[in-house]
Amino acid sequence: MGPLYSDVILDRFRHPRYFGELDAPDAAHEDVNPLCGDRVRIELRLDGRTPEIEAVRYRGDACAIALASADLLAEMVEGRPVSEAAGVDRERLLAALQAEIRPSRLRCVTLPLDVLRGALAALKVTS
C-alpha cells in the first residue's frame, strides 16, 4: 500500500479552492462521522434561471481526506445541473483523489458525498 495522502489530497487540504460560506445559500446540509468526529457542511446556491448549481462552498472540522474530498466534490458539481451533481458517486470521487484509500478511511471520502446528497434533497423540499 502506498502513502496515506496523495499529492492531490495534500494540495486540496493545504490549498482549498471551495472552503468558505455562501451568502444566502439555497440549501445547506451538515453531518458528522460518529466514529472519528469529522464534521462537514456543504452550502449550495442555484442559478436563478436554470437548474444548475451556481456556487458551492464547504466548511468542516475534519481530516485531510474528508476535506480534500469535499473540495474536489465542490469542483465537480459547481456549474453543473442538479441532476448531474446527484449522479456523482464514490468511485468518481475516489478516482479524483488519486490515492489508495484504506477501507477504514472510506467514510472520510463518503462523508462529503452524503452531505451533498442531503443538501440536494433540501433543494427538492424547498423548490
Q: What is the pLDDT of residues 12-31, one digit of tens each?
A: 999 999 999 999 999 999 99
Whether pTM > 0.85 for this model: the answer is yes
CA–CA distances in Å: residue 93 to residues 18, 65, 108, 112: 16, 11, 11, 10
Average pLDDT of adjacent 10-residue blocks, the chain of 127 residues: 79 98 97 95 93 97 97 98 96 94 92 98 71
Q: Quick one: pLDDT at residue 127?
A: 47
* Partners of 116 in the β-ladder: none
Q: Class assignment of domain 7-126?
A: alpha beta
Instruction: Give the number of other Cβ atoms within 10 Å of residue 21's Cβ.
Output: 11
Q: Are 43 and 27 a contacting pair, CB within 8 Å?
A: yes
For the chain, domain boundaries: 7-126
